Amino acid sequence: MAVLWSGRFQKELDRQVNDFNSSISFDGRMFAQDIQGSMAHAAMLSACGIISQADADTMIQGLTSILEDLQSGALQLDMDCEDIHTFVEGELTNRIGEVGKRLHTARSRNDQVALDLRLFLRDEVDGIRGQLKELIQVLLTRASENVHTILPGYTHLQRAQPISFAHHLMAYVQMFLRDLDRLADCRRRMNLSPLGSCALAGTTYPTDREMTARSLGFDGPTVNSIDGVSDRDFAVELAAGLSTVMMHLSRFSEEIILWCSWEFKFVELDDAYSTGSSIMPQKKNPDIAELVRGKTGRVYGSLVTLLTMLKGLPLAYNKDMQEDKEAIFDCVDTVRQCLLVFTPMLRTMKILPDNMRAAAAKGFINATDCADYLTQKGLPFRTAYKTVGELVAHCVRESLTLETLPLEAYRSYSDLFEEDIYQEICLEACMEKRLSQGGAAPASVLCQIQLSHEALERM
Ligand code: ARG
């Protein structure tokens, strides 16, 4: 059992306590960040005259060789160690002898773990942002192919008004653009270095926190040493941002699942992105979308784990905080896995415009336009609304649609109706007239696509 404390204790740690206390099984994945942080620390110690240049060089060489061996698999983590920090320091001392024991000067595992986690999550945020950009690109491409593809827009899951499939996809583009922005914001606050906060109170050594912060790519050091080691807001913010990503993916998944059903049949997933049943030969199931929807809960769970772990914690470091890692790691891993399959599923998804058009034709989704027709002829909208309501009821009774209702029938409800009503309520025309900013008309949607491309460029 490798622990970093000695001197104060007369007995070895109980085996089960060691296992309970140890975090190397999950913080081991931060080995590269731990080593990177140690190298920056060693360089700073020598630049500030706290250790010799020769010792720093030896340390950095030793750390480099450990990193290489871990990456190549020549060196395995010792699962008996308390954590990754213990392992790296122990291995360094094995390799370079006594000099290794100077590395922990003016440092604590408390600032070390806070540093490692920020470095690790910073890379994860960048990776996830890259994946979100890819997803947005795919949506923009699919949208630009479908600005004329008529789809019934829904409220209350009831057919409401004609939109295009592109218009619908562009709603998701806005959500994912906001997610990108939220994650950028989270990264900005995350990008401060806690290194040099030490255990909690800073140090008596003449350290240079600006130097380590800069060399590790941070915007600067954290301001208060107690906060430096106690703060996990960056993990909470990331989990919250990723919960929102999952909420968006889950809503989208729900729609894809509906669209794949025979009741809708608006899309068909590529065979490579759907699954079958072990008993029902006819089945083609949208498992990916269902799993994305299902995994949303565990990402929310991570957020609640983190918030609950921190609530009520006195300053500064408490061992409870070791629980942050499994939660936030699961959170980032889950989102990355979901995006990895969700984006190509969308890219390869077949769109069935005829079915969308047929569904749009059946639901009186041009009723608002019919009322607008009367309004343009001078009737107050509320009165027009009532007249069209009666027309719809008539059509339902007679199994007709507004398109097939004869002009005489129209005129029996209002003599403002003339032959041109049929052009006015044609679904294509209804969609094309929604030229308001952000509206469903192809011209408006093309403008949304252009604006979104520009927004993506800036991200
Ligand atoms: N494994 C610990 C964690 O993840 C590292 C920090 C330990 N610090 C301490 N004072 N015991 O939080």
**292 SS3 class:** helix
Mean pLDDT, rounded, for 162-177: 98
Q: Are 317 and 229 in contact (CB under 8 A)?
A: yes
pLDDT tens-digit profile of 122-162? 999 999 999 999 999 999 999 999 999 999 999 999 999 99
Q: Are 34 and 88 in contact (CB under 8 A)?
A: yes
- The CA-atom distances, in angstroms, between 138 and each of 68, 79, 230 are 37, 43, 40
Q: What is the pTM of this model?
A: 0.94
pLDDT value for 12: 87
pLDDT tens-digit profile of 200-241? 999 999 999 999 999 999 999 999 999 999 999 999 999 999
- Alpha carbon distance, N-terminus to C-terminus of the chain: 47
Task: Return the best residue to mutate from 17, 79, 322, 329 for the ligand 1 pocket (most ligand atoms within 8 A of CB).
Answer: 322
> Using 50, 70 and 90 to split pLDDT, how confident is the model at 1?
low
Whether 10 has a pLDDT exceeding 70, the answer reads yes
Query: Of all residues in the chain, what percent carry a pLDDT higher than 90?
Result: 94
Task: Return the best residue to mutate from 107, 319, 326 for the ligand 1 pocket (most ligand atoms within 8 A of CB).
Answer: 319
pLDDT tens-digit profile of 313-341? 999 999 999 999 999 999 999 999 999 99
- The CA-atom distances, in angstroms, between 291 and each of 159, 160, 256, 439 are 27, 29, 12, 32
Whole-number average pLDDT of the chain = 96
- Paired sense of beta strands 350-351 and 267-268, if any: antiparallel
CA distance 120 to 216: 12
CA of 319 to the centre of ligand 1 (A): 6
Enumerate the active-site residues: 156, 277
pLDDT tens-digit profile of 291-304? 999 999 999 999 99
Q: Whose CA is nearest to atom 12 of ligand 1?
A: 322
Q: Are 104 and 89 in contact (CB under 8 A)?
A: yes
> Tokens at residue 159, please?
């057919």
Q: Are 83 and 109 in contact (CB under 8 A)?
A: yes
Task: Report the helix count and the strand count for the chain, using DSSP H and E.
Answer: 19, 4
Spell out which residues line ligand 1, taking CB within 6 angstroms: 23, 27, 83, 109-110, 113, 317, 319, 321-322
Q: Which atom of ligand 1 is nearest to the CA of 85?
A: 5
CA of 86 to the centre of ligand 1 (A): 10
Whether 3 has a pLDDT exceeding 90, the answer reads no
Q: Which atom of ligand 1 is nearest to the CA of 325?
A: 4
> Tokens at residue 248, please?
């968006």
Tell how far CA 206 is from the center of its chain.
41
> Using 50, 70 and 90 to split pLDDT, how confident is the model at 192?
very high
Mean pLDDT, rounded, for 418-426: 93
Q: Which atom of ligand 1 is nearest to the CA of 23?
A: 1
CA distance 324 to 84: 15
Task: Return the best residue to mutate from 83, 115, 200 for the ligand 1 pocket (most ligand atoms within 8 A of CB).
Answer: 83
Nearest Cα residue to 238 out of 302, 311, 292: 302
CA of 23 to the centre of ligand 1 (A): 8
CA distance 75 to 276: 43
The residue length of the chain stands at 459
